[in-house]
Amino acid sequence: MMDDQAFRQLLKHLNLSWKGYRRVRKGVKKRIRRHMQTLKCREMSVYLAELDRSREVRETCDDLMRVTISRFLRDQKFWQTLENELLPNLIQHYPDEIEVWSAGCANGEEVYSLKIVWEHLKKKIPDLPKLQICATDAKTVCLARAREGIYPRRSLRNVNDDDLRLFFTPHNKQFAVKKSLKQSIKWRVHELLVDLPPSTFNVIFLRNHLLTYYQDPLKIPVFEKIINALQPAGILIIGAHEKLPLRTADLMPVAAHSFVFIKRGRL
């Protein structure tokens, strides 16, 4: 049994945030306990020494610490604002191509949610720009699930019946994303803390990952690089309960949603 004190020791060692992990710690602690048992580490101090000694052990631990809970169209009012206001305004600035980065895309629910919104826009806006989505995650298993695009019904509870029929097919008591929704998506392995942003973008989703689970010394330099990768008039979306790790005049909050920002600057 791992108590909270031992878990806090691990979080401090990894520069991770207790506040971010507090609500999800039960499942994460269970995974770490199993890893410790496999390594025959009975004490946290021994486990921490193994993390420092072995790169392979550290990589496995990092993988076990990742939280990938999500669902389609999470925060429904935001997606409505994105469809009705934010994307139409952005398209006026960038009429030829819209490039989107889903950073820490987990199992792909956010990416396919965006594609559903884009399909809605096709009925409202003639001559939509070309859409390119770069969906990245450090976990190859998550990217494999995202590419496959098969989800339980509970992940789709915010998807209305018309969209469920248009964009999904029943698959062994679950639902599979149709091929038409999988177009214009590039799935890539990417470690936010190590790698530079893969390009520059008009929209960046940075939800419930970097800003939730990491301490400021790690997340602030990464966040600055991400902001530099956002084009002027571009949209940044963080988690609904997250806050920016630093004050910056470059980002203007969207009134209706405290977790959405527009980047200032000339095109």
- Of 36, 65, 94, the residue at which a domain comes to its end is 65
Domain that holds residue 251: 76-263
pLDDT reported for residue 66: 85
pLDDT over threshold 80, residue 68: no
pLDDT reported for residue 41: 95
Per-residue pLDDT reduced to its tens digit, 114-145? 999 999 999 999 899 999 999 999 989 899 99
- Structural domains counted in the chain: 2
- Alpha-carbon distance of 74 to 25, in angstroms, equals 21
Verify that 185 and 212 share a domain, yes or no.
Answer: yes
Q: How many CB atoms lie within 10 A of CB 267?
A: 7
In a domain, 139, yes or no: yes
Per-residue pLDDT reduced to its tens digit, 32-48? 999 999 999 999 999 99
What is the average per-residue pLDDT within 191-209?
94
Pairing relationship of beta strands 150-151 and 174-177 according to DSSP bridges: antiparallel
Verify that 155 and 56 share a domain, yes or no.
Answer: no
Verify that 143 and 233 share a domain, yes or no.
Answer: yes
In a domain, 230, yes or no: yes
Verify that 133 and 184 share a domain, yes or no.
Answer: yes
What is the average per-residue pLDDT within 158-170?
97
Verify that 171 and 112 share a domain, yes or no.
Answer: yes
pTM reported for the whole predicted model: 0.89
Verify that 96 and 206 share a domain, yes or no.
Answer: yes
Q: Are 235 and 260 in contact (CB under 8 A)?
A: yes
In a domain, 114, yes or no: yes
- Of 65, 96, 112, the residue at which a domain comes to its end is 65
φ/ψ of 263, rounded to 5, equals -80, 130
pLDDT reported for residue 124: 94
State the Rg of the chain over Cα: 20
Verify that 153 and 239 share a domain, yes or no.
Answer: yes
- Alpha-carbon distance of 168 to 180, in angstroms, equals 10
pLDDT over threshold 70, residue 59: yes
> What residue type is 215 in one-letter code?
Q
Q: Are 109 and 141 in contact (CB under 8 A)?
A: no
Q: What is the DSSP letter of 179?
A: G
Per-residue pLDDT reduced to its tens digit, 220-257? 999 999 999 999 999 999 999 899 999 899 999 998 89
pLDDT reported for residue 36: 95
**Structure-token pair, residue 129:** 């720009």
φ/ψ of 225, rounded to 5, equals -65, -35
In a domain, 258, yes or no: yes
What is the Cβ-side half-sphere exposure of residue 240, based on CA atoms within 13 angstroms?
A: 9
In a domain, 70, yes or no: no
pLDDT over threshold 90, residue 265: no
pLDDT over threshold 90, residue 154: yes
Distance linking the first and last C-alpha atoms of the chain: 56
- Alpha-carbon distance of 265 to 100, in angstroms, equals 18
- Of 18, 33, 65, the residue at which a domain comes to its end is 65
- Alpha-carbon distance of 231 to 202, in angstroms, equals 5
Query: Percent of the chain beyond pLDDT 70?
Result: 99
Q: What is the residue-averaged pLDDT of the chain?
A: 94
The C-alpha torsion from 4 through 52 and 214 to 192, rounded to 10°, is: -150
In a domain, 8, yes or no: yes
pLDDT over threshold 70, residue 1: no
pLDDT reported for residue 220: 95
In a domain, 243, yes or no: yes
In a domain, 245, yes or no: yes
> What residue type is 70 in one-letter code?
S
The CATH number covering residue 208 comes to 3.40.50.150
pLDDT over threshold 80, residue 183: yes
pLDDT band at 70 (very low <50, low <70, confident <90, very high): confident
